[in-house]
Chains A and B, each alone.
Chain A
Amino acid sequence: MLPFQVTNSPFNEEQVELLNRLWPTLNSAQKLWLSGYLAATESVGALQQEASATKEVTVLYGSQTGNAQKLAEKVGETLKHRGFHVTVSSMLDFKPNELKKINTLLLVVSTYGEGEPPDNALSFYEFLHSKRAPKLDHLRFSVLALGDTSYEHFCKTGKDFDKRLEELGGKRLYERVDCDVDYEEKAAKWLEGVLGELDKQGAISVATTSSAQAKPTTIYSRKHPFQAEVLENINLNGRGSNKETRHIELSLEGSGLVFEPGDALGVFPKNDPELVDAMIEKMKWNPDILVSIEEKEEPLREALLSRLEITVLTEQLLQAFATFSGDPDFHALLSSEQEAKRKEYMKGRDVLDVLCDFGSWEMTPQQFVSSLRKLQPRFYSIASSLLAYPDEVHITVGAVRYEAHGRLRKGVCSTFCAERLHIGDKLPVFVHQNPNFKLPKDTHTPIIMIGPGTGVAPFRAFMQEREAIGAKGKSWLFFGDQHFVTDFLYQTEWQTWLKNGVLTKMDVAFSRDTKEKVYVQHRMIEQSKELFRWLEEGAAVYVCGDKQRMARDVHETLIHIIAKEGKMTSERAEAYVADMQKQKRYQRDVY
């Protein structure tokens, strides 16, 4: 301990002398007691002064080598001693949405490489610098920047944060301090300054940002979809994956749309321009010619892109086309005797195939579009909870692409999302309620979630919801996909939920990592004893994803487990499952 001096302490000469006499005589327990006592009396005084004020401070760090983290933790300790409620977190672990709820923010952040943010600050940095960054009028902040003057971009990340927080409306609590490699002294000064300001200004109460949102005048629905702005669109599959799964975040701000976990989102896609152009080209039509759809006129190309279904063949469509073709082969295919052959033909083919496979077309653009069905919305299980992401909705979209009949075929909506939907674009959406896929009313009820592939989407919403309401029930997730390294959808989020206990248990099966393919049902069997115990405790089981194989296999496995562990016949096991269904303890969202 350095001796107290008049120059570096707030004490007068006499006090300094007394302190210097007293201090060396104290043992560490006495010192600790004293610091606690002083802090406590200090905070009692503060509390009395501003009885209704909260004293919450959030300290976020972005750290590459650990220095910023250590400093942030020290800052947190000091503030705690002064009676503040402090949250210290890495920028990576901090949910950006929380920004709306906090009023005092301290950043301790270093700069890495050529002026880049440290790894664990990157996503927060990008969020704040993106269009999604919220207004921060309610926020006061101060930045401690760590750096190294031997680098060109000294303390750049800290400077960027400082500037950006101000741009977003934040008030600077205390001027930013930039530190060189020997940061200790300057950091201490900064903390002192911050503390001084906090004392002076008093901690302010949370500015309620419920700025009485203007009620939307339109009720959005399938008929009147809401034009949701795309906030984020990322591929969840790592490099080298066979798959592409898009995680899409949409803004619902101002829509008045609400939903619950388990509901689905209806999305209106646009057709592939390449496909549209190929049809127009084939028929040698003018793409700009006006056609009328539901008494509204628009150019042919536009209508085909966004109003009409061109990838699904139906019986009605083929019959409608019959009038316009003189091709005997086509008429032969349409005869009632050829039903089987016709069904086979329709599988995996689209309108362009019909136009190419058959000839002698005598069809105007208007006749063509009048024969086509209106473009239908696609439905996706919602992957977010409004409690965790107010004013947002997230979906998980697996891009469908396959080779058939000599051409690469693409799922309309999924590849539209994957290839042509950009941040800032507007996507027409509406909410589709699904009352048959809902969390138990009793938050203590254990839940078992089985969702391989994109089937995992609603369970992300479940976890967000259970975390937000502090549900006490146990939870267990079975997930599977092809490869661990590239296809573990939302991996880091499950890991966080496992760590903080929101998710009790997780089992994964990656089918192509081992010689023998492993699927979720195999993991269920491995755990059959415990799974049955959960069922006996009243757990609710949810299955989401592929209907054809997965849901069937999981269903059979469930019956098998109940029969084996419950020592009952398969008939009784089936009755057991039927009973669960009746009690809404076995719900499925399969497609």
Chain B
Amino acid sequence: MEWTEENGLLLIPLGLGWLAVWLLMPSERKRPRILGGLAGLAAILIMQMMLLPPAGDLVRNALFFLFAAGSVISAALMITDRNPVYSALWFALVTLSVCGLFLLNSAPFLAAATIIVYAGAIIVTFLFVIMLAQQSGTIGNYDQQPLQPAMASLGAFILLGALLFTLQEWGHIGGPDASQHAMPGQFITVPVELQPNPLSQHPPDNPHEIGSLRVLGRSLFGDYLFAVELAGTVLLIATIGAIAIAPRRSQGTL
């Protein structure tokens, strides 16, 4: 019974969020979209109350909530927008907001790299949308409605619940900041104090250097060399495969 007392609160925002996404999804029948929007806002507000307040200064907190709310709301709109082109644009906003969060947490390179990678990727998505999606006015509306809206969003929210539950467990252990012990139903705070990676073989000498290019490079090519090389090899194999599959000039295309 103690478990439900501690974690039952978690079900409220999750359920509300699921209801919101399901109501907002495009469908043939008229669904009360305003109700969906209200449910979504309620879910976000309850979730915000369950987070411990981040212990930064005013500007930092304001920016954190701006980027966090921006990414969550844009993500919901990306899934529920009727027009695939707008979905691609909402995806761009999600990426930008998440990059803002990276910047707040002293990871400027990660933010810049994410923008470089995803900006190009979203442009390609945009091209695919223009090429493949049915434009309005054509027969049928297969692109305009989801196939399994209820089940798909339920699955996604179960995953989200599992993630939040794990975070909550971490908060109970104490997390990065043991002084602010989480109350039942509350989650860990957003870490403000920067700490060097405890697993690193070459921790930075200067605490100001955390998150800088130099330290990041040392970490990537020192501590995580095997993972980096493995990822590089996988990408190389994919590139070679793409070239091998592509038709030759002598075969008449390209």
Q: Do A and B come from one complex?
A: no
By a beta-carbon cutoff of 8 Å, the part of chain B in contact with chain A is none
- Interface residue ranges, A against B (CB under 8 Å): none
